[in-house]
Amino acid sequence: MTSLALQALPLFGKVLDGAIAVVQTLTGKKAATIDHSWHPPTPTDRRSPCPMLNSLANHGYLPRDGKDVSLADLVTGFKESINLAPEATFLVTVKALRASSTGNFLTLHLDDLNKPNIIEHDGSLTRADFHSGDNHTFQPALFASFLAHLGGHPTISIPVAASARLARLAEARAANPEFSMSAENTRFSFIETASYLQVFGKGLDGDARADWLRVFFEQERLPFDEGFVRADKAMTVAGLFEVQRKVEEATKAVEGTKKTA
Ligand code: HEM
């Protein structure tokens, strides 16, 4: 993305946000629910391979049943819960909507996102690969391995997150004869690491709280009870790309160390 496009994105986000507010006022439709207490999904609720989408649905920031979730639901839900800038949600959702099975190009069911190679990819931190037959369910054993790679630190720095991601990729590659990651899959995998570091850490500097990460991955719950608060400043695309760049640099450093060892 060019720097000019990056600079124009926040303006686009404001227009998008305004348009969504107008549509919601005119149609009387408000995203999800006002009650944001956490409830686990019922057996008929639909969930995705993304721990954040699932957490927002479990808190009612997105429709709790995970069905017919609209672009407007996502933009509003992400803004209200973790203060993700509208244009950031928009960019990911435009891609995600390619997996939609709802018959409406502006909505998706959360489990539509299980479709491989749209956003879903091999080498996830806590999900098995498509080859295994289940590419979307949280896997405690994979998470245990990921946690071990994180090394028991109370906060997760960017280099530690980069090396845990690399270690999980190596494990997935070894376990899956059909392992594959396109350049686009790899980019998303970096963005996923950058996004959890930013939401649960210190802005652009990483240091995500490990106890919050456990709550997030294991329960698909936002760790409000443990002290997490919605950031005052919106998390922007430029900020996410900056953390992504830092994770990529840290990854190169880890790979370089391994080659010279
Ligand atoms: C700041 C907001 C977000 C955060 C913190 C976040 C976090 C994450 C994380 C940590 C993963 C990796 C899970 C794993 O490897 O086990 C993931 C995966 C995923 N996310 Fe999100 N996410 C966010 C927003 C979104 C949005 C807006 C969408 C789509 C509308 C989305 C769709 C996905 C999908 C489809 C995957 C599965 C990728 C895979 O195969 O591992 N995410 N997300």
User: Does pLDDT of 261 surpass 60?
Assistant: no
Same domain membership, residue 84 and residue 167: no
Task: Pick from 53, 84, 171, 200 the residue to mutate for probing ligand 1's pocket: most ligand atoms within 8 Å of its CB.
Answer: 53
Mean pLDDT of the chain: 94
Cα separation, 157 vs 165, whole angstroms: 12
The mean pLDDT value for 152-181 works out to 97
192 ligand 1 Cβ < 6 A: yes
Confirm whether 3 is domain-assigned.
no
The answer on 261 and 213 residing in a single domain is yes
Tell whether 1 is covered by a domain: no
Helix H or strand E segment including 210: helix 210-214
Co-location of 170 and 259 in the same domain: yes
Residue 207 lies in a domain: yes
Query: Across the strands, what pairs with 209?
Result: 155
Contact call for residues 124 and 191 (beta carbons, < 8 A): no
* Whether residue 171 is found in the same domain as residue 255: yes
Phi, psi for 41 (deg, rounded to 5): -65, 150
What amino acid occupies position 147?
Answer: L
Whether residues 138 and 205 share a domain: the answer is yes
Same domain, 181 and 73: no
- Ligand 1 close to Cβ of residue 125 (< 6 A): yes
Examine the domain organization and report whether 197 and 261 are in the same domain. yes
Name the domain count of the chain. Answer: 2
Looking at the structure, tell me whether residues 19 and 52 fall in a common domain. yes
Over residues 183-206, the mean pLDDT reads: 97
Ligand 1: residue whose CA is nearest its atom 23: 52
Output the domain CATH number for residue 116: 1.10.489.10
Q: Determine which of 25-29, 30-34, 186-190 has the lowest per-residue pLDDT on average.
A: 30-34
Question: How many CB atoms are closer than 10 A to CB 164?
Answer: 21
pLDDT tens for each residue of 113-165: 999 999 999 999 999 999 999 999 999 999 999 999 999 999 999 999 999 99
Count Cβ atoms below 10 Å from residue 111 Cβ, excluding itself. 17
- In terms of domains, do 167 and 80 share one? no
What pLDDT score does 5 carry? Answer: 84
From the CA of 240, give the closest atom in ligand 1: 1
With beta carbons less than 8 A apart as the criterion, state whether 173 and 165 touch: no
Quote the CA–CA distance of 63 and 78 in Å, as a whole number. 12
pLDDT of residue 29: 67
pLDDT at 19: 87
- Residue 227, in any domain of the structure: yes
46 part of a folded domain: yes
The answer for residues whose C-beta is within 8 angstroms of residue 104's C-beta and 6 or more apart is 68
Atom 6 of ligand 1: nearest residue by CA position: 52
Please name the residue whose Cα sits nearest to atom 19 of ligand 1.
50
Same domain, 128 and 94: no
Q: Would you say the pTM of this structure is higher than 0.75?
A: yes
pLDDT score, position 124: 98
Q: Are 16 and 87 in contact (CB under 8 A)?
A: yes
Cα of 192 to ligand 1 centre, how many Å? 6
Round to whole Å and give the CA distance between 104 and 39. 28
Instruction: Examine residue 2 and state whether it is found in any structural domain, yes or no.
Output: no
Q: 129 with 103, same domain?
A: no
Range of the domain at 130: 122-261
Ligand 1 mean position, distance from CA 221 (Å): 14
Q: Does residue 228 share a domain with residue 158?
A: yes
